[in-house]
Structure 1
């Protein structure tokens, strides 16, 4: 698979970002919104698709209830005894179209916590980065304007958006930070100076 750029990650997770912004717009603290969306992203990895449905919710009461239920699940995951003031999560359950309750999350706590940490420390560092999304939006606006004016000159993609994403570290890696492994034939020896000269031309 070809390496993905930061722009590719942002475009792929655009719906996740829309849901995050919806939660924040309804008064949810950004950290709580981020963790709730990460929980829904983790459920998507299990095949429990909810993000698209959440994006379409317009009723503020349903949104507040959904956020409260997600926060209750996250609270349960943080507790050693797995206790929560919520015993049922009907909004999440109805969106999941599966039988999900607090016991499911409590039983799979270790796996879920590791999965959430991978999301938040990996792609989450890009998906929930306000600055990167502002750059993407500005670029898309300029590109649409250039297309509408039939301009032959397209705007350049901001350099930070073209940076390759390194899933191992969870952060973008610049081209200068990459390594290359080179082998040489013993039959045709090459001197150190020749190698240096080749790569510095």
Structure 2
């Protein structure tokens, strides 16, 4: 950041994307503020461990997928607080899809002290500052404060501070001065980064693939497979490969390549194998494990 002791405004500007996403979770998805602060603190801790842009990647998904990420985040925090639910699977398919290496709930038992300290650090030193608009609202109303015009130009206070409550000078300042952080889908952590979306995932093809099999005698065409998954999940399919069987036989397996590695977690939905019915024929999908020489 280039600031030794950043103030609240500096932190808010730096974490603008995270603030906007937090707003979406609370205002549009109806999430509880206190719970989301904890989940966001954990995700920021993930990023500090090297899982870069974790939050930006989660924010790129549709609401139903984001809610699954949140559910896994809350399960991680429960395990961290020693609240164990024996009915819940240990797997974290959505969270793992954005990690360099898969993790499960046992991670938060084996590394409880480190994880607890890390989450607490980001909760107290980042989340409880950047998600609290009250200080910025007070500065916006105090024309004698040294950060008054800087806050007005940032746009950070506008969630609760209406134009009617502003002085004529404040309204003019807000309209004339360019925002300190222009609206963007890119992360404040890397202002040169291109906006991320599942369609631009550059993960190796093998890691974005699923092994698919058919019932004997009931093969499914590439087109039908592609159309089925695109209809169900959106534009997520890069290509479909089918076994080249001898002329006298029908193919029994193939490989489905997605545009994003995260789609594998969505398709499996916490299971080892997913089963689908496409035009009356069954298709099974599981993780693709490439052969090693």
Q: Indicate the TM-score class for this superposition, using the shorter chain for normalisation.
A: 0.5 to 0.7
**Correspondence 1:79 to 2:93:** no
Q: 1:84 to 1:132 in 2, by over 3 A?
A: farther
Deviations 1:106-133 (A, max 9, x none): 2111111111111222222211213246
Deviation at 1:76, TM superposition (A): 0.5
Map of 2:118 onto structure 1: 115
Distance (Å, rounded) in 1 between the aligned partners of 2:11 and 2:106: 33
TM-score by length of 2: 0.45
The 8 Å contact of residues 16 and 41 in structure 1, kept in 2 or not, is answered as: no
**Correspondence 1:67 to 2:97:** no
Higher helix proportion: 1
- In structure 2, the gaps of 5 or more residues are 141-149, 156-170, 179-293
Deviation at 1:35, TM superposition (A): 0.6
The 8 Å contact of residues 18 and 55 in structure 1, kept in 2 or not, is answered as: no
Deviations 1:108-166 (A, max 9, x none): 11111111111222222211213246558754345551137xxxxxxxxxxxxxxxxxx
Give me the CA root mean square deviation. 2.5
SS in 2 for 1:76: helix
Distance (Å, rounded) in 1 between the aligned partners of 2:51 and 2:105: 16
Distance (Å, rounded) in 1 between the aligned partners of 2:13 and 2:85: 36
The 8 Å contact of residues 89 and 102 in structure 1, kept in 2 or not, is answered as: yes
**Correspondence 1:54 to 2:84:** no
Distance (Å, rounded) in 2 between the aligned partners of 1:137 and 1:27: 27
Distance (Å, rounded) in 2 between the aligned partners of 1:68 and 1:81: 14
Matches within 5 A, 1:1-201: 2-24=4-26, 25-49=28-52, 50-57=54-61, 59-79=62-82, 85-132=88-135, 138-141=152-155, 143=173, 145-147=175-177
Runs of 4+ in 1 over 3 A off after TM superposition: 80-84, 132-139, 141-144
Distance (Å, rounded) in 1 between the aligned partners of 2:86 and 2:80: 9
More contact order relative to length (CA 8 Å, sep ≥ 6): 1
Higher strand proportion: 2
SS in 1 for 2:56: helix
Q: 1:108 to 1:91 in 2, by over 3 A?
A: same
Deviations 1:19-56 (A, max 9, x none): 22222121111111111100100001101120111222
TM-score by length of 1: 0.64
SS in 2 for 1:96: coil
**What is the aligned length?**
147
Distance (Å, rounded) in 2 between the aligned partners of 1:60 and 1:137: 31
